[in-house]
Structure 1
């Protein structure tokens, strides 16, 4: 008998939603080792991504066969014909056992399937590694506590939230002793008074200000340490909009593994002196789609053109977010916002409930234009245009249920050298424009 590991990418197939709706998993696609798979072989299921890990175990019940897939709402795209192996799942975990638990085990020091999760299914597992997976199930590593029931967009009284899941009823970061969650509250209406300026940043992550109203912030604070170490501690980060009374659940987030946090400056509570603050870089886990009743955007926040990005804490900096390009990006954004305001339009910045567009404007309550701004150089022009088109398609898809009419604008530094981009954008419903063509997008 052999042992195997199967991976599931939640961005391709919504396994959690599939199970939550009461469906049983009866087969899984396999691209390799099909001649080696036998009836009775054991397997473990692994969920990829920052909040993934070991989630289930079971056994194969037949030989792989090639068949047409059955695309439904759980697939992000039609999977097409594939090889599928029939199986039965004997046990699911309520919460994944993270990768870090296993990579510290000597049994995974060589020929580990955890190093090649990007490859096609299945992945070979040694006898010793299978024992390690079995031990994880038998020892009850999956954290216990009340099941998380809120869906993105749901409103709840903060008092009721803490009654069920635990955690402090005050403050912006609330680590729950009763459940494996950290509740995070962002509220621009009250946060600015304490030097908390939470916002989507150019790197595509939500920058959330850490805990501490007086003096420099540090990781001696339990809340800041819980955010930084939430993957190792197997804690889910639950972000809410609002800080008191009724709050709205935005969705689950995770610290960006490449750049988990950076440092900045902000005033102390009540407009005191500037002090060092921690800005956590949070990325959504899955798609935190909001219901149609959630309005798009909030008042426009002028981008600070004098600020240059700090040296990265981890890894190599993105050249598109440094020096000249960042200043050009913010200048383009502020100039277009000023032109839109001069024409009597309501200018918007994204809230945590929105995708991370650069700015938007509203002609009427149900007519929104969302805009992505890109600085350009001859060296990065194609890469920037590709990125902008992809981002706008994502923004439009996520906002179309929240406004009757959604328009998309890609605002760039100058007319692209390759004119095909104008027609390409037009075909997918995007207006490509640059300084001097304000009337094309604002008129």
Structure 2
């Protein structure tokens, strides 16, 4: 096997790196057959175009997205070489630069013993949401902490806090913030603003929640929480079936994180859905609210 001779901070041609030490000449993960190394290439500024969110976390680890640009990532090939690097006797060597001709050696890493990897949602190359593997890499040299940082480091325990309802977030925008919002999302934001104004005009206290589940990279945000009535409300800018079914799942997902638990669940939409969808919501005790004239109409949860 070839001895390692590259120092931290060294810049070299990627083609020269592979000629001497082996490994794949393209892609982000390159396990070598001629040296005891797995080469990792990271460029946070460019990786987000393909749903990769690499960077330093507050836990002292470099969070590194696995390979696979389309569909849910699987623990195979390059990803598996990271997971098994210690038992295979290989060092993890991290470089800055992916498609660049010249890369910079950051240093040697090892997979964290506790919670070595987790999953997060991110768009793939085609813009479709999928599940991405995130590895937690610990630097062998503790002085390596430089470069891009994560906006949030996944925690070992969940947390929930109240935030200003004027902070507008949608789940899709959180996992793909660079894209333009869809028209339905614009309608959703307007719908939320108007209904919040309506509730406040009736003397209700209104907030939203920021939810950080354990081991999750990106926060979840509820749309509206009517504190006065303890009703959790999810808004959708369209009444098509997929949106209604998504909202139902979101409401049940959010509710378990809010203490004390909401007394009621509601769906806010721009117009009256078809009867079958109203029956669906009623069957899971979710009332439906929509604008009607100068006020709002609503169903009753069973």
- TM-score, normalised by the number of residues in structure 1: 0.34
Query: Which is bigger in relative contact order (C-alpha 8 A, separation at least 6)?
Result: 2
- TM-score, normalised by the number of residues in structure 2: 0.50
